Amino acid sequence: MPVGTAGTVKAMLPESVAATGADIVLGNTYHLMLRPGAQRVADLGGLHRFMNWEGPILTDSGGFQVMSLAKLRRMSEEGVRFRSHVDGSEHMLSPESSMEIQRLLDADIVMAFDECTPFPAEKGVAAESMRLSMRWALRSREGFGDRPGYALFGIQQGSIFKELREESSKSLQDIGFEGYAIGGLAVGEGQARMFEVLDYAAQMLPDDRPRYLMGVGKPDDLVGAVARGIDMFDCVLPSRSGRTGQAFTRRGAVNIRNARHAADPRPLDPNCTCPACRGYSRAYLHHVFKAGEIISSMLMTWHNLHYYQELMAGLRDAIGAGTLAEFTAAFRAEQAEGDVAPV
């Protein structure tokens, strides 16, 4: 899912996002409640109409951003009282208010309000955090109510501790959700440890409901997580990297800022069909990035989103054909070759 935090996937038009193959985008409760405000979005017809996106929208509950961005946080059983990082105004976000804000936004998939456990955390701290999130998950379910055609996802927590992840999974399934997310990963533990957790965490959740790994990640992260049973992802990396001059390709990452691209007539990836690769050379992309031109962010972001969608489509096809192991091996072999300069 491309990330459209504040109602836009940066440097992309909605129809451009759809052209990459994306079916769904992500918005964020925290950012939209602060600016322009959930009620204003509702008054203007909901987030779909407001941002001109016809497909489904998933909204994060705001819990992670409250912990990572907000100022002067005061957390209690009720929720989190905080000051906005935008203008310093004071707000209260609770499971009930998060559900109401996401209802006003008219998100198709709503995330339960939780605390993202920091890493590293001692087991006792992680347990206390997880159990608070489970109590908030029940209140989120009650606050969400009966809304046919909409979905509420619960979020598994428990840091890197298997028994805590198991306890969290059982609590969520006792409550009952339309889908389940795995939270509290990609927060500094590294890929190896993340995969160790995913080796068991995904299997603790129902296999007849979507399983969503939040905030991940690089192409190799996605391939490894799919092999461990994950269905859905979101990450700012494709768009953020595009704006800062990094492209993801079949042969690894390309830093278009490097001087070796200044006279290179090749596309980023000769096998890619995105507009950046069809119509522009590395030399041009290097030039417009160095010149600070807006088209640099547009083309590089379009390429990255296209590459991610193509990678996910390849994984789906491989699963359908029963060739996931072969696909994964070929992906890693090609990535290992690296981006080689022309002779």
In degrees and rounded to multiples of 5, residue 251 shows phi and psi of -110, 35
Residues in CB range of 146: below 8 A, 6 or more apart: none
Instruction: State the Cα–Cα distance between residues 234 and 261, nearest whole angstrom.
Output: 30
Six-digit token string for 294: 């807006």
Residues 6+ apart with CB under 8 A from 209: 177, 178, 179, 180
Sequence-distant (6+) residues with CB within 8 A of 294 are 11
Q: How do strand 246-249 and strand 71-75 relate by DSSP bridges? A: unpaired
Q: Left if phi > 0, otherwise alpha if psi is -120 to 50, otherwise beta: which for 145?
A: left
- For 236, phi then psi, to 5°, come to -80, -10
Of 52, 47, 215, give the one whose Cα is nearest residue 119.
215
Annotated active-site residue 231? The verdict is: no
- H helices present in the chain, as ranges: 14-19, 29-34, 38-43, 47-51, 63-68, 95-105, 123-144, 162-175, 191-201, 219-227, 237-243, 275-279, 282-290, 294-321, 324-337
Contacts of residue 307, defined as CB under 8 A and 6 or more positions apart, other chains included, come to: 219, 238, 247, 248, 249, 269, 272, 274
CA distance 191 to 178: 28
The 3-state DSSP class for residue 139 equals helix
Structure tokens at 170: 């059982």
Angle formed by the axes of helices 123-144 and 162-175, nearest 10°: 10
60 is catalytic: yes
Is it true that the peptide bond before 36 is cis, omega within 30 degrees of 0?
yes
Active-site residue (options: 106, 221, 234, 264): 234
Question: How do strand 25-28 and strand 80-83 relate by DSSP bridges?
Answer: unpaired
Active site residues: 60, 234
